Structure 1
Amino acid sequence: MEHKVKVIFVCLGNICRSPMAEAVFRHMAAERNMGQLVEADSAGTGDWHLGKIPHEGTRRELDSAGISYDGMKSRLVDRQDLQDSDYIVVMDSANERDVRELIQSGGYTPQGNLMRFMDLLPEKNMDGVPDPYYTGDFNQTRELVTAGCSRLLDRIAHELAIR
């Protein structure tokens, strides 16, 4: 089999939005029989929660949807992530700025497509996925993440069919 399409979701602390997106994306890929075609990961740009499991609110939302987050622990996005990923999906403009700074300071060009998550949902007219660590609205995050992950999987399926 050829190369799996690698997606990395990036947020600030890697305990709320990006691990939720990773878990939802993996779950949906398995449901669509695309699990063998895609690989998902998540990371953060800030180091406050390194090694921690997803936030209680994220775990509650994923548990209620029957979506596994086993083995997930917060970590920092690194050069290897950015070089190896086909899609680098940032949750908001601050995450995008941080990732672009990491790329620039590293002096390399990532192979993948750097995009904001909400670019997948233009009809929402939102700059980024609101951070439930501050808003407390983990349900809103799950709704946005679910819709966006579905669109990303549609895009990847379309690209794979073209190849």
Structure 2
Amino acid sequence: MIKVLFVCLGNICRSPMAEAVFRKLVERDGLEKEIMVDSAGIGHWHIGKVPHKGTRNILDEKTITYEGMTARQVEPADWDRFDYIIAMDQQNLSDLNGIREKNDVEVKLFMDFVKDEDEKDVPDPYFTGNFDYVYELVEAGCQSLLEHIKKKQF
């Protein structure tokens, strides 16, 4: 089974949005038994909390479930559990590389999967309030990431 982890700062906005969107795409393609998805945060501030209201609102609007999702912090065992760890911005990537325990895990920047986009980071809607724009980036990146995984793994 291929395991994908999305990581942002607090695990209440960007990474749970990516987890929910990616899970829906995996289910659409009938790959639930081949690909597992999760999300986590660099920080501990929101552990146990549901996704941010802005994330919940946009996912509700798009009829994408986030049921059962609660924030958690990245932990050392994640390097053993996941094949892909996807950072939502360059600071998250730097933080992940700073705690990296294994080199055989593919750690990538989410925006590497968004074609024709000038952004280097997925902007944090916790601070910008622009959940619609973040959703557009997340949807595009998740589709591209899934295609990348399918070409490489299947």
Q: Give the TM-score category using the shorter length.
A: over 0.9
TM-score (norm 2): 0.96
> Does 1:18 pair with 2:15?
yes
Structure 2 unmatched ranges of 5 or more: none
Residue-by-residue CA offset, 1:111-143 (whole Å, 9 max, x unaligned): 321000000014202111000000000011111
Partner of 1:129: 122
> Does structure 2 retain, via aligned residues, the 8 Å contact 1:84–1:112?
no
> Does 1:159 pair with 2:135?
no
Q: Which amino acid aligns with 2:54?
A: G
Matches within 5 A, 1:3-152: 4-103=1-100, 108-152=101-145
TM-score (norm 1): 0.91
Q: Which amino acid aligns with 1:8?
A: L
Q: 1:9 and 1:135, CA in 2 relative to 1: closer, same or farther beyond 3 A?
A: same
> For 2:112 and 2:9, how far apart are their aligned partners in 1?
18
> For 1:63 and 1:134, how far apart are their aligned partners in 2?
21
Structure 1 unmatched ranges of 5 or more: none
Larger Rg: 1
Deviation of 1:52 (Å): 0.4
More helix by share: 1
Give the percent of matched residue pairs that are identical in Structure 1 and Structure 2: 45
Deviation of 1:153 (Å): 0.7
CA RMSD of aligned residues (A): 1.0
> For 2:110 and 2:151, how far apart are their aligned partners in 1?
18
